[in-house]
């Protein structure tokens, strides 16, 4: 596969239960499952996947209810349910194991819950800005963002300072340019 061929993505829908799950794929070779965060979709991995694609097959589904994916009718939001979804997705998409697993943010609980149940199916794992513990409770805004219609409206109304305040982040300061070049 040439580098140009690897950089081009393809998309497809994979049926999990009664729901169509949108998947973007790049490259060929050993599989790498890329699980996105909130509020995002599989396309967030495009830059990383283009770099990995000459060496491996990158698979980036839109998780249930995100991007272009539907939510399966029997989808459980428990850790067991997240693990079950990943296993059903991998089977339906005919993704061979073992695989490399990369998870960001909200994708972490999906990845970890599945990996704990299928340790022999994971070759390597990367976790980026995520958490995993069974007693986690969503903060107020995360619960709002997960509510149909209300979540979309709140994201439309939110600006950068409001987002920083709602998530507990420090307000963004203007950047100061720092140069390492001598004499500047």
CA–CA separation, 184 and 180 (whole Å): 8
The answer to whether the peptide bond before residue 5 is cis (omega within 30 degrees of 0) is no
* Other beta carbons within 10 Å of 102: 23
* CATH number attached to the domain at 3-136: 3.40.50.1820
Ordered by start, the domain boundaries in the chain are 3-136, 137-170
Taking alpha carbons only, the member of 101, 95, 163, 161 closest to residue 126 is: 101
Q: What separation in angstroms does the CA of 172 have from each of 61, 75, 142, 164?
A: 32, 37, 21, 8
Taking alpha carbons only, the member of 148, 6, 31, 146 closest to residue 86 is: 31
Choose between 26 and 158: higher pLDDT.
26
Decide: 23 and 14 in contact? Cβ < 8 Å. yes
Query: Which residues are CB-contacts of 59 (< 8 A; sequence separation ≥ 6)?
Result: 23, 25, 31, 32, 33, 34, 93, 95
Taking alpha carbons only, the member of 33, 54, 53, 27 closest to residue 98 is: 33
Q: Region 139-158: what's the mean pLDDT? A: 80
- pLDDT over threshold 90, residue 139: no
Which two tokens mark 112? Answer: 């970890």
pTM, whole model, 2 decimals?
0.74
The model's pLDDT over 19-67, given as tens digits with 9 standing for 90+, comes to 999 999 999 999 999 999 988 999 999 999 999 999 999 999 999 999 9
Angle of CA points 62, 65, 71, to nearest 5° = 105
- pLDDT over threshold 90, residue 103: yes
- pLDDT over threshold 90, residue 146: no
The model's pLDDT over 159-178, given as tens digits with 9 standing for 90+, comes to 767 666 655 554 444 443 43
Q: Considering the chain, what percentage of its residues have pLDDT values greater than 70? A: 79
Decide: 88 and 109 in contact? Cβ < 8 Å. no
């Amino acid at each position: 596969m040439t580098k140009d061929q690897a950089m081009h993505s393809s998309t497809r829908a994979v049926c999990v239960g009664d729901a169509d799950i949108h998947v973007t794929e790049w490259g060929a070779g050993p599989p790498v499952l890329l699980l996105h965060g909130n509020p995002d979709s599989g396309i967030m991995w495009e830059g990383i996947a283009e770099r990995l694609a000459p060496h491996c097959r990158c698979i980036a589904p839109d998780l249930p209810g995100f991007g272009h994916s539907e939510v399966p009718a029997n989808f459980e939001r428990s850790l067991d349910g997240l693990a079950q979804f990943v296993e059903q997705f991998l089977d339906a998409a005919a993704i061979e194991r073992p695989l490399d697993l990369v998870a960001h943010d909200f994708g972490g609980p999906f990845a970890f819950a599945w990996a704990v149940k299928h340790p022999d199916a994971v070759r390597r794992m990367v976790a980026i800005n995520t958490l995993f513990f069974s007693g986690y409770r969503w903060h107020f805004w995360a619960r709002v963002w997960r509510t149909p219609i209300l979540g979309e409206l709140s994201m439309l109304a939110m600006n950068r300072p409001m987002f920083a305040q709602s998530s507990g982040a420090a307000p963004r300061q203007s950047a100061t340019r720092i140069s390492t070049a001598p004499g500047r």
